[in-house]
Amino acid sequence: MNLLLYFGLAMRGLTANKMRTALTMLGIVIGVAVVILVVAIGEGASKSVTDSINSLGTNQLTIRPGRPTLRITAAAASGTAQALVVANRLNMADSNLIQKDFPTTIAALAPQARATVQISMGDKDANTSVMGTSPEYLYVNNATMRSGTMFSAYQNAGSVKVCVVGSTVVKEMDGSADSDMTGQAIMINHNRFTVLGVLTPKGAGAFGQDQDDVILIPIQTALRRVLNTQVLNLITVRCTTPGMMSLAQEQIASLLRNRHHIPPPYPQNDDFQITNQTEILERQQSVTGTMTTLLSAVAVISLIVGGIGIMNIMLVSVTERTREIGIRKAVGATPRDILSQFLIESALISFAGGVVGVLIGIVGTMALSSIAGWETVVDPLAAAVALIVSASVGIFFGLYPAQKAAALNPIDALSYE
């Protein structure tokens, strides 16, 4: 007997009791839809983290000043302990020394001093983040210019009032994010700056901040004319190779400890932090992955529950159709024929449930994306696996009822009322 005929029989069996078939399918539908949804959300989250990693500089370390610390020093002469509150600082001297001392491990670095200031252009004004940095900023942070040029090392050293703007600033000042402001003047804290170029947009950062709402100005200009400080917020460092990162971290730490006269123990007493952003994001990604795995496990459990539902209904169906089985056997159906008929029936229920589940999952994912604004990625592999798994669930849980049907004694089956 051919497969097509079994399918016909199974379809007939299923359509005879549509409500029951639909309810039986529901378990699988929910299971598969959840799998698709969870995987799509997980993939989306992981993709946005990956994008953030890519928008960071490669081989990048960041050095930040630590929190102000309370340092207890034992004054040898008086024998009393002296408490000292130290405001932790990073300055240009630190930055320059780091740059000069480790040419084998550090390719470039960009000191950064930033503050939120008021800017204006014509009748428009806004608050934005002004960042004083060096021309190496582009290289260290994987940034590029959309138009115009970065300020030069000379302009940097000479405290020239020039700037490079992010696309959000362009939009706020000029109405459109795409317009080129090169050559125009912008007022920063009542200082007139000439715009040299516009940065290529980077989008949202790993923590949702707008990376394009920024104005870059030469670090010396920032320290002397705008911020009136000697303190750096941040130094970003690009190492020569990924393998050099931990060595660079060690070298920078010991240099800073030496310069800042920090007593052991380390790193508890350090007045700075050196972090590997990529590492942090990778950790975040693995957390996302764990969540996805966990939720997928829940979805798989719901698939199993759906499968048990199928088994339950198929057992009822076999009992109900005992007489039909008897008739089929009496006219020459082999146990194999009966087994196939019921097995295909349960496989069809779960496969159809899988198809419906995938569709609902995809629609749900799109709805979630547009309503909650989450980035989602529907994984075709997940959909295919969900379909195969759901059909397998039907076969697995349909096997026992089908075997029961196939093993029925025709005489008993025929006399069953």
Start-to-end C-alpha separation, the chain = 28
Q: What are the distances in angstroms from CA 227 to CA 109, 114, 152?
A: 21, 8, 20
Residues 292 and 40: beta-carbon distance below 8 Å = no
- Write the DSSP symbol of residue 177: T
Closest CB to other proteins among residues 205, 335: 335
Binding mask 15-54 for other proteins (x = CB under 8 A): -x--------------------------------------
72 binds other proteins (CB under 8 A): no
7 binds other proteins (CB under 8 A): no
Rg over alpha carbons for the chain, rounded to the nearest Å, is 34
Closest CB to other proteins among residues 293, 334: 334
Closest CB to other proteins among residues 15, 176: 15
What is the rounded distance in angstroms from the CA atom of residue 390 to the CA atom of residue 349?
A: 9
CB under 8 A: which stretch of 101-109, 228-236, 268-276, 409-417 binds other proteins? 409-417
Closest CB to other proteins among residues 319, 370: 319
CB under 8 A: which stretch of 261-269, 350-358, 397-405, 407-415 binds other proteins? 407-415
Instruction: Please give the size of the binding site for other proteins, defined by CB under 8 A.
Output: 21
Q: Closest approach of Cβ 411 to other proteins, in Å? A: 5
Closest CB to other proteins among residues 9, 223: 9
410 binds other proteins (CB under 8 A): yes
DSSP 351-386: HHHHHHHHHHHHHHHHHHHHHH-------HHHHHHH
364 binds other proteins (CB under 8 A): no
414 binds other proteins (CB under 8 A): yes
Q: Closest approach of Cβ 13 to other proteins, in Å? A: 10
Beta 162-165 vs 191-199: how paired, if at all? parallel
The interface with other proteins within residues 301-360 (CB under 8 A) comprises 323-324, 326-337
What is the rounded distance in angstroms from the CA atom of residue 91 to the CA atom of residue 47?
A: 36
All residues at 6 or more sequence positions from 311 whose CB lies less than 8 Å from its CB, including other chains: 346, 397, 398, 400, 401
Closest CB to other proteins among residues 367, 411: 411
DSSP 227-253: S-----SEEEEEESSGGGHHHHHHHHH
Closest CB to other proteins among residues 28, 402: 402
Of 345, 327, 314, 334, the closest CA to residue 413 belongs to 327
Residue 277 in tokens: 């952003």
11 binds other proteins (CB under 8 A): no
DSSP 273-326: EEE-HHHHHHHHHHHHHHHHHHHHHHHHHHHHHHHHHHHHHHHHHHHHTHHHHH
Closest CB to other proteins among residues 205, 410: 410
Give the total residue count for the chain: 417
Q: Closest approach of Cβ 410 to other proteins, in Å? A: 5
Q: Closest approach of Cβ 297 to other proteins, in Å? A: 42
CB under 8 A: which stretch of 31-39, 80-88, 267-275, 406-414 binds other proteins? 406-414
Of 11, 12, 50, 258, the one binding other proteins (CB under 8 A) is 12
What is the rounded distance in angstroms from the CA atom of residue 382 to the CA atom of residue 39?
A: 7
Instruction: Annotate 283-301 with b (16+ C-beta within 10 A) or e (fewer).
Output: ebbeebeeebeebbeebbe
What is the rounded distance in angstroms from the CA atom of residue 109 to the CA atom of residue 238?
A: 6
Q: Closest approach of Cβ 286 to other proteins, in Å? A: 55
Closest CB to other proteins among residues 384, 407: 407
Binding site for other proteins (CB under 8 A): 1, 5, 12, 16, 323-324, 326-337, 410-411, 414
